[in-house]
């Protein structure tokens, strides 16, 4: 059993259209990887499929984690196996107080019951660690939250649930520079606290967040539903500077893509 999230030949359709066309990707436990790629290349589709959104139909392939094909498990079961997904567009659930939501999520994922008072102490400690305003937890889940505040909520949720592997889909987009730092610091701190055991797949368009993330082990590029290139962290800056067209042409010339 390999200690990694291993995606093998994953093909996924949305509303009958094939979006992922054979994704192969390995992120070992203990490593932080970035996934970049042009708009519409299938990055969010991959993220949503990994965490079990019902709209995404798996046509072929598997995603192995802890010796199981997680694609056959319910989203709840995936979370209990230590996986976490931060959404590109976080949801609003009116009427649910953030603190209560996190309490329930914590108990469900960890399979324990703890009194709210005790949980709140954990929550406070996490908020201090992440530099998140404590007034947050009394508010409705994402109700009237600004874009940046929603992202901070997601980071808080991740810190509270202490996943072993986290997929973050553009958690940094639309954030001001402090927000980007909060997200990057959260990744760094959670990674450190895990003793370098956690795994991350960070989907982003911007190298600015990646510059704050230490260590960053690899950068992958997705194009037209496939991972077409995997390289060292320096690739992120190159892509942000030069875009994707040159890479597409280069890969075509090399016969790596059609
Ligand atoms: N319901 C749908 N029906 C048809 N096509 C869809 C549907 N949902 C998504 N797609 C298409 O799937 C492709 C991949 O979308 P996806 O959101 O995975 O891209 P992405 O790489 O995350 O892009 P971005 O960088 O803009 O976030 C896009 O071409 C999108 O239009
Ligand atoms: Mg996306």
203 alpha carbon – ligand 2 mean position (Å): 8
**pLDDT given for residue 14 in this prediction:** 96
Average pLDDT, the chain: 90
* pLDDT band at 142; cut points 50, 70, 90: low
Model pLDDT, residue 200: 97
Is the pLDDT reported for residue 245 higher than 60?
yes
Residue ID of nearest Cα to ligand 1 atom 29: 40
Three-class secondary structure of residue 219 per DSSP:
strand
Pick from 10-19, 44-53, 70-79, 146-155: least confident: 146-155
Structural domain spans, the chain: 4-93+165-253
Considering the chain, what percentage of its residues have pLDDT values greater than 90? 64
Which is the closest atom of ligand 1 to the Cα of 37? 21
Q: Are 202 and 191 in contact (CB under 8 A)?
A: no
Contact 246, 239 (CB under 8 A): no
What is the per-residue pLDDT for 174? 83
Cα 220 to ligand 2 centre (Å): 15
How many C-alpha atoms does 118 have within 13 Å on its Cβ side? 6
pLDDT digits (tens, 9 = 90+) for 220-244: 999 999 999 999 999 999 998 899 9
Residue 23's Cβ-count burial label (10 Å; 0-12, 13-18, 19+) is: buried
Q: Could you report the per-residue pLDDT of 42-80, keeping only the tens digit for each?
A: 999 999 999 888 899 999 999 999 989 999 998 888 988
- Mind listing the pLDDT tens digit for each residue in 162-193? 999 999 998 888 888 888 988 899 999 999 99
What's the pLDDT at 34? 97
- Give distance in angstroms: CA of 26 to centre of ligand 2: 20
Residue 118 has a pLDDT of 95
Q: Which residues line ligand 1 (CB under 6 A)?
A: 14-15, 17, 19, 37, 39-45
Tell me which residue of 24, 32, 30 sits closest to 3, measured CA to CA. Answer: 30
In contact, 226 and 202? CB cutoff 8 Å: no
Of 50-64, 129-143, 239-253, the poorest mean pLDDT is in 129-143
What pLDDT score does 28 carry?
96
Residue 48 CA, closest ligand 1 atom number: 18
pLDDT band at residue 12 using 50, 70 and 90 as cut-offs: very high
CB burial of residue 14 (10 Å; 0-12, 13-18, 19+): middle
Residue 87 scores a pLDDT above 70? no
- Name the residue of 43, 56, 85, 226 to mutate for ligand 1: max ligand atoms within 8 A of Cβ: 43
Which candidate, 7, 42, 12, places its Cα nearest to that of 28? Answer: 7
Judged on CB neighbours under 10 Å (0-12, 13-18, 19+), 67 is exposed
Question: SS3 for 192?
Answer: helix
Check pLDDT > 80 for residue 37: yes
Pocket test for ligand 1, best of 10, 38, 42, 169 (most atoms within 8 A of CB): 42
Each residue of 91-110: pLDDT tens digit?
A: 666 677 888 889 988 998 89
Closest by CA position to 213, among listed 170, 173, 182, 175: 182
pTM: 0.92
Return the CATH number of 4-93+165-253, one of 2.60.40.1080, 3.10.129.10, 3.30.43.10, 3.40.50.300. 3.40.50.300
């Amino acid at each position: 059993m390999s200690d990694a999230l291993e995606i093998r030949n994953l093909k996924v359709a949305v509303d009958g259209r094939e979006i992922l066309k054979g994704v192969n990707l390995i992120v070992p436990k203990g490593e932080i990887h970035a996934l970049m790629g042009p708009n519409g290349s299938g990055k969010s589709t991959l993220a949503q499929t990994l965490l079990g959104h019902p709209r995404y139909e798996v046509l072929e392939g598997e995603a192995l984690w802890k010796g199981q094909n997680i694609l056959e498990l319910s989203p709840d079961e995936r979370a209990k196996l230590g996986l976490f997904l931060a959404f590109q567009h976080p949801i609003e659930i009116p009427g649910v107080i953030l603190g209560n939501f996190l309490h329930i999520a914590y108990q469900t994922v960890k399979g324990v019951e703890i009194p709210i008072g005790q949980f709140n102490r954990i929550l406070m400690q996490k908020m201090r660690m992440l530099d998140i305003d404590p007034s947050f937890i009394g508010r409705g889940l994402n109700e009237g939250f600004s874009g940046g505040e929603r992202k901070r909520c997601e980071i808080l949720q991740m810190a509270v649930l202490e996943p072993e592997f986290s997929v973050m889909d553009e958690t940094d987009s639309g954030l001001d520079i402090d927000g980007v730092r909060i997200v990057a610091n959260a990744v760094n701190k959670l990674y450190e606290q895990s003793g370098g055991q956690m795994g991350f797949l960070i989907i982003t368009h911007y190298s600015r967040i990646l510059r704050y993330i230490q260590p960053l082990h690899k950068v992958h590029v997705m194009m037209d539903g496939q991972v077409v290139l995997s390289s060292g962290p320096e690739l992120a800056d190159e892509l942000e500077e030069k875009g994707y067209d040159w890479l597409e042409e280069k890969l075509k010339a090399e016969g790596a893509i059609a």
